[in-house]
Amino acid sequence: MNGRRPGPAGATPARPTSRDVAERAGVSQATVSLVLRDRWNGRVSPARAEAVRAAARELGYRPNLAARNLRLGQRRTALLVVPALTTEFFARVHSGAARMAAEHDIGVVLYPSPAGVGPAPDPFASASATLDGVIASSMAADALAALRDGGVPLVMLDSEPGREPAVATVNPDIADGMRQVTGHLLELGHRTFGHIAASVDTWTFHARARVLREELAAAGTARLVAAEAAALSVREGMLAAERALRADPRPTALVCDDDVLAAGACKAARRMGLRVPEDVSVTGIDDLVLAGAVEPELTTVRLPAEEMGAAGLGSLLTVLRGERAGNTLLPVELLTRGSTAPPPADGPPGGR
């Protein structure tokens, strides 16, 4: 027995307490507190300390540090989980969160995935982790399973609203961004589209594909003639675009899930003897520095990365005050540049 009272059938199991850990380990609650706060050395035997840590792991216990810090007046700490800080977008998210944190005297610990883009390892493996809350990108969501029963408030960025265990979400209006891209290309006269999609299984990329298909279907005369998935790199975007540009009929517009893929698409067009935008228009999403460095400059959707980081930290502070944060939707902006133009008047080159 772990000391917890069973709830009614179907009820959510009670969160384990320090008393449960003490009973499982056969020690006092004071000993549990010393071990989990890393103050046991010289006061508790190594064997008992390990028994406490093992009991905490078995029960899934994590200290309610937010409440403790509020009682003691200690500085709060938030963890920011992102796929890779080397990615400009997430560096900007961190910048926004750090700026907001400085204004409210809260520490921010950055936890990027060592593998780069993709799920991060579980950052909560230590039972003594001293965190008041977490802000995380949906692209690192697999790292967060331990939070489900851990009692640590979680704010998700770029994630499906209402998804458990998040207490709040902060999203760019990605659906509106894709509508703006599609509307721009349709107004230019494009009717044959290719989609260079990110091969990342997250809500934000699924939403881009869904909205693109919906907008083309609503237009009636337009169609998606090629859809290729690619890892988030220039090379993979180039290879995917080469495959898309071999479709029959050849697309006159390539809609890319982000600017890195779009840079690869521009490279693919040049390698195939096509001109951007005279023969094929290319669009991206993000508005990275890269968008202004390619030639021609990239038509793209600016996602408010810094604002997302700041809003995520703000939502977490709201939750820590005991208030409901809800879901925040931030506006996006289409930036039209040189990579888009009307389709060629005589059809795709090569007679197709």
Which CATH number belongs to the domain containing residue 80 in this structure?
3.40.50.2300
- Ranked by mean pLDDT, the top range of 116-130, 285-299, 310-324 is 285-299
| Interval 291-316: pLDDT, tens | 999 999 999 999 999 999 999 999 99
Position 166 scores a pLDDT of: 81
Residues 263 and 339 in one domain: yes
* pLDDT bucket at 347, cuts 50 / 70 / 90: low
Q: Quick one: average pLDDT of 158-176?
A: 87
Over the chain, what HEC string results? CCCCCCCCCCCCCCCCCHHHHHHHHCCCHHHHHHHHCCCCCCCCCHHHHHHHHHHHHHHCCCCCHHHHHHHHCCCCEEEEEECCCCCHHHHHHHHHHHHHHHHCCCEEEEEECCCCCCCCCCCCCCCCCCCCEEEEEHHHHHHHHHHCCCCCCEEEECCCCCCCCCCEEEEECHHHHHHHHHHHHHHHCCCEEEEEEECCCCHHHHHHHHHHHHHHHHHCCCEEEEEEEECCCHHHHHHHHHHHCCCCCCCCEEEECCHHHHHHHHHHHHHCCCCCCCCCEEECCECCHHHHHCCCCCEEEECCHHHHHHHHHHHHHHHHCCCCCEEEEECCEEECCCCCCCCCCCCCHHHC
Domain annotation covers residue 70:
no
Residues 183 and 157 in one domain: no
Residues 193 and 279 in one domain: yes
Residues 14 and 53 in one domain: yes
CATH code of the domain in which 41 resides? 1.10.260.40
Domain annotation covers residue 66:
no
Domain holding 95, by residue range, is 75-171+306-331
Residues 260 and 292 in one domain: yes
The mean-pLDDT minimum among 124-128, 130-134, 236-240 falls in 124-128
pLDDT over 70 (residue 128): no
Residues 284 and 196 in one domain: yes
Average pLDDT value for the chain: 82
Domain annotation covers residue 234:
yes
pLDDT over 60 (residue 69): no
Of residues 289 and 5, more confidence is placed in: 289
Residues 111 and 33 in one domain: no
Of all residues in the chain, what percent carry a pLDDT higher than 90? 47
The mean-pLDDT minimum among 100-104, 171-175, 212-216 falls in 100-104
pLDDT over 60 (residue 120): no
Domain endpoint, select from 35, 61, 87: 61
| Interval 203-236: pLDDT, tens | 899 999 999 999 999 999 999 999 999 999 999 9
Residues 95 and 183 in one domain: no
Residues 326 and 213 in one domain: no
Domain annotation covers residue 67:
no
Of residues 237 and 90, more confidence is placed in: 237
Residues 110 and 234 in one domain: no
Domain annotation covers residue 289:
yes
* pLDDT bucket at 41, cuts 50 / 70 / 90: confident
Domain annotation covers residue 68:
no
Q: Quick one: average pLDDT of 328-334?
A: 96
* pLDDT bucket at 126, cuts 50 / 70 / 90: very low
Domain annotation covers residue 69:
no
- Provide the number of structural domains found in the chain: 3
Residues 342 and 223 in one domain: yes
Domain annotation covers residue 249:
yes
Residues 155 and 202 in one domain: no
